[in-house]
Amino acid sequence: MAERNGIVAAGIMLVDYVHCINHWPQQGWLAEVSHSEKAAGGGPLNVLMTLSRMQCPLPLAAVGLIGEDAEGDYLLHVMDQAHIDHRAVQRTAAITTSTSQVMTAPDGQRTFFFAPGANRFLDLEHFATLDGPQRIFHLGYLLLLESLDRPDDLFGTRSARLLAMMQQRGYFTSLDLVSRAGDYRPLILPSLRWLDYLVINELEAEALTGILLRDAAGIQPPAAFAEAARWLAEQGIRQRIIIHAPEGAWGQDVGGEGVWQAAWQLRPEEIVGSVGAGDAFCAGALYATHQGFAMPETLRLAHTCACFNLHAANAIDGIRPLDEMLRWMDQAICVESARASGFTTSAEKT
């Protein structure tokens, strides 16, 4: 059998309606919308679109469930333009395609109003025939995939069963989460033993591990991130754990030494929006992992993808070809050397 090559991403698919507002209003008051645009969204599709915009030489494929409506037609058109194989994206007339209204304030922070739509019905049956030549199977976001988040008598959750199925079919498995309040560990922990790679932010890692990574004073030292990564490895993750934050990221190859890489810096006027910055970080990490990059280079590229993401209001348009971003990366300034120079951190949030 030929060596596996490429990335298939599955899960949340939606249409983002992104609005730039002049301020976040108090309840009952008005805010002005200065700019609006429509874009494909959802973590898995953002990862694939980022890789496509980078002109990475990898086959890309998507798995999801969308409606038989104009939004679904739009997503298929976007994937066609990006040369993403969408033969495993199925459609239903029973419910509409998922959408979100994204409100982006002048400081780049955003608020989401999410309509789950068809995503809540994506289930094991939609993966029954998936057995392609790609190397990595990436799933996101748990906690928003209502059917896959349901209990399973043998595996704990249906998402854990799905990841086990994908490993058995020869894929390396990867997972991303959505940041939500509350104790959601029962929905996540069963999946960890069926993972090769985990890329999450510090808030999600803290919620999973119970290890403090950020408080009112700011981010904790890298040693806290190392402790969280060790805890996650003990849950059965097989190869790589990456925990990212606006200030930097900790990367740990299971059984090896971990490393902290500070984030690159952008001036405030360079930041247009942060929609999908965590997905861009994840895309860079997955590409580098697929290509066999060492952990320091993996984190550097992931930070670079997140920084370029911040140059656009939507999740995709800031990304540039890989060669261009690598040239920029070689001159990038990190947190520690820039803190006194008027820079702000890149907002790598999912």
**pLDDT tens digits for 106-123?**
876 778 899 999 999 999
Rounded mean pLDDT of 75-83?
Answer: 97
**pLDDT tens digits for 291-315?**
999 999 999 999 999 988 766 655 5
**pLDDT tens digits for 157-214?**
999 999 999 999 999 999 999 877 778 899 999 999 999 999 999 999 999 999 999 9
Q: Are 231 and 211 in contact (CB under 8 A)?
A: yes
Q: What is the pTM of this model?
A: 0.89
**String of DSSP letters for 70-85:** HHHHHHHHHHHHTT-E
The whole-angstrom separation of Cα 268 and Cα 271 is: 6
- Check: CATH 3.40.1190.20 for 7-25+32-345? yes
The first and second tokens of residue 265, run together, are 């810096």
Q: Are 256 and 91 in contact (CB under 8 A)?
A: no
**pLDDT tens digits for 255-294?**
999 999 998 876 665 665 555 678 999 999 999 999 999 9
Using 50, 70 and 90 to split pLDDT, how confident is the model at 37?
A: confident
Query: What radius of gyration do the chain's Cα atoms show?
Result: 19
